[in-house]
Amino acid sequence: MSSIVYLNGQYLPIEKARISVLDRGFTFGDGVYEVIPVYHGHIFRLKKHIERLNNSLDEVYIEKLYDLAQWQEILCELIQQNPAEDHSLYIQVTRGISERDHAIDMATEPTVFAMSRPLLKKDRSAGISAIVEEDIRWKYCHIKAITLLPSVILRHKARLAGATEALLVKDGYVTEGAASNVFVVKDGVVKTPPKDGSLLPGITRDLLVELLVEANIPCEEVAITEKELRQADEIWITSSTWEIVPVVKLDAEPVGTGKPGEVWQQATEMYQAFKTAMAKDA
Ligand SMILES: Cc1ncc(COP(=O)(O)O)c(C=O)c1O
């Protein structure tokens, strides 16, 4: 499907959007990105996403070209030019074009690309299967880097095993999913790993922690062992486009009762109510 995308100051049909083969995003995977959902025209948690984008840019020494208001203008234009009920916005900033040399000061101007795709609602409320895999990624997973080869391989391993997501374990502790954050529930207490370099500070994760705390549902940001993961009553994964998804099978074994749990039901209802209230306010 044709769409209008944003590339370096211009709005143009996706077929006409071109970048150089010497763009460092292509030659080095030298760039960062964001994915932001839009519900009924409201860009969900925009400020948080742009804060995280700015943090990623700072961490990799790429210049920040736009502030929040400028991003908002670009994204609103894309939403308008690509009508859909809900959207998934994608932003990618690379270091730009340079000779193929590791030295970053050879690149002069970042490449800025953004597009909007329809956000298709897939019903995952019956739960998904996951596998446990060793976390083979690097140490700076708090940066939303475009260099996603390990995650691509891990997702494919899940697929080969007939599952949807790979839950990752490093030195015996759960970090996150290949493209999601992880929550477990045991005896009514919700736990998610603390934010350090081993995982992406998910916008959905953070909001969910806030909502659980507000609702007086016990929620802890603590290290989770692989054993705790395997013995959990409930496991959920979260992401901006998938929201909160129950994991009902882990390595082909049922998680808890093998059905989406009660705490997940409560959590997802709270999340949907929050989304609806935000879209109404917009
Ligand atoms: C590795 C990883 N962790 C967590 C998430 C969830 O982050 P968010 O809730 O901000 O979408 C993602 C999203 O794609 C991800 O790729």
Q: What is the pLDDT of residues 14-48, one digit of tens each?
A: 999 999 999 999 999 999 999 999 999 999 999 99
Give per-residue pLDDT as tens, 87-138.
Answer: 999 999 999 999 999 999 889 899 999 999 999 989 999 999 999 999 999 9
Reading the block at residue 115, the tokens are 């597009």
In whole angstroms, give the CA distance from residue 129 to residue 253. Answer: 9
Please state the pTM of the whole predicted model. Answer: 0.97
Give the pLDDT of residue 73.
98
Split at pLDDT 50, 70, 90, the class of 161 is very high
d(CA 263, CA 270): 11
Q: Catalytic: 47?
A: no
CA of 101 to the centre of ligand 1 (A): 30
Residue 277, φ and ψ in degrees, nearest 5: -65, -40
pLDDT at 1 over 70: no
Which of 148, 239, 240, 242 for a ligand 1 pocket mutation test, highest count of atoms within 8 Å of Cβ?
Answer: 239
For residue 242, is pLDDT > 70? Answer: yes
108: exposed, middle or buried (Cβ count in 10 Å: 0-12, 13-18, 19+): exposed
Greater model confidence, 105 or 66? 66
Structure tokens belonging to residue 184: 């477990």
* From 48, 121, 144, 191, active-site residue: 144
Predicted confidence (pLDDT) at residue 282 exceeds the cutoff of 70: no
Chain mean pLDDT for the chain: 97
Q: Give me 208's structure tokens.
A: 């969910």
Q: How far is 29 from 196, CA to CA, in rounded Å?
A: 23
- 200 burial class (0-12, 13-18, 19+ CB within 10 angstroms)? buried
Please give the pLDDT value at position 2. 79
99 CA to middle of ligand 1, Å?
32
* Distance (Å) from CA 203 to ligand 1 centroid: 8
pLDDT digits (tens, 9 = 90+) for 260-270: 999 999 999 99
Q: Flag whether pLDDT at 65 surpasses 70.
A: yes
Q: Please work out whether the CB of residue 179 comes within 6 Å of at least one atom of ligand 1.
A: yes
Q: What is the pLDDT of residues 226-240, one digit of tens each?
A: 999 999 999 999 999
Taking CB atoms within 8 Å and a gap of at least 24, the contacts of 272-278 are 274/207, 274/211, 275/39, 275/44, 278/39, 278/42, 278/44
Instruction: Enter the tokens of residue 222.
Output: 């603590």
Query: Average pLDDT of 231-258?
Result: 98
Nearest-CA residue for atom 15 of ligand 1: 179
